[in-house]
Amino acid sequence: MAKPVDFGTRLRSAMDASGPLCVGIDPHPALLEAWGLPNSADGVRSFSLTVVEAMTGAAAILKPQVALFERFGSAGFAALEETLAAARAAGLLTLADAKRGDIGSTMAAYATAWLDDSSPLASDAVTLSPYLGYESLRPAIDLAASTGRGVFVLGLTSNPEGPSVQHVGGSNSVAKSIIDQVTADNVAAIDLGHVGLVVGATIGDAPEKLGIDLTASKAPLLTPGLGAQGATAQDIAESFASSYGQVLGTSSRDILRAGPSVQALRDKALSVRDELLAAKQ
């Protein structure tokens, strides 16, 4: 059997074709209400399939927030499975925002759920939490590599509580240790590796202060915080500088508020994408 195309190559192709935009699929109760949909698994399903329809050709990757499906139990997971299948059929990459992290056989089971060809929840990538130790994520990192999928590891997040853990150690910080290990896993990549990083769009000069080289990591950089959380494309371009070519600008509520019109959603996404592209110049 031929080896699958690696995730970094597939992601770069999607970014070149559709722009460096990741759109979250976040069916919050308030958004469901604003769209005239019930706060139920059926409402979540309708919401999510509308986003998939609108984003074809306008985004490199879609990021369903797993918790907002999970709250409806098996019916919510069924809606997520249908959403992932619809995105796949539309040629869109998917990133399951599940933030999984555990040890041993439990981590292996999470890896199978989100990254194995046989799973109905299989996505092109999944978010992971490394705070049981980076190597605890090895089952997912290795399975992703073997199936042509990716992982995005929490690195430098922009929530107020993040620095209390991630910045500990200064020049030998927890975040630097994690990112150094990501760099080692991506060392053979020509462009983007299969191990990405979640790095908040509003972290400012934290990488410089902590001695972190994001460019050397070869990691795709998922940057939550664009739009509703206050960051602009120009802010991200200035903060990430030489690593901006690795950035997936991530927007959820700012784009989703344009719904439920498919055309309005698409127009908003294209506007955000164009801002990201313009900031690269």
Neighbours of 89 (CB within 10 A): 10
* 16: alpha, beta or left? (left if phi > 0; alpha if psi -120 to 50): alpha
pTM exceeding 0.95:
yes
Alpha-carbon distance 197 to 247, whole Å?
Answer: 10
The set of catalytic residues is: 99
At 205 the pLDDT is 87
In whole angstroms, how far apart are CA 158 and each of 36, 48, 229, 234, 275?
32, 26, 10, 17, 21
Distance of CA 38 to the CA centre of its chain: 26
At 136 the pLDDT is 98
At 42 the pLDDT is 98
- Phi and psi, residue 251, nearest 5°: -135, 140
Residue 24: partners with Cβ closer than 8 Å, 6 or more residues away: 62, 63, 64, 65, 97, 250, 251, 252, 253, 255, 256
At 86 the pLDDT is 98
In the chain the domains, ranked by start, together with CATH numbers, are: 7-279 (3.20.20.70)
C-alpha dihedral, 70 to 74 to 77 to 81, nearest 10°: 180
- Phi and psi, residue 188, nearest 5°: -85, -10
The closest of 274, 162, 258, 280 to 210, measured between CA atoms, is 162
At 1 the pLDDT is 65
Alpha-carbon distance 108 to 93, whole Å?
Answer: 23
Q: Per residue of the chain (281 residues), what is the pLDDT tens digit?
A: 678 999 999 999 999 999 999 999 999 999 999 999 999 999 999 999 999 999 999 999 999 999 999 999 999 999 999 999 999 999 999 999 999 999 999 999 999 999 999 999 999 999 999 999 999 999 999 999 999 999 999 999 988 899 899 899 988 999 999 999 999 999 999 999 999 999 998 888 899 999 999 999 999 999 998 876 678 999 899 889 999 999 999 999 999 999 999 999 999 999 999 999 999 76
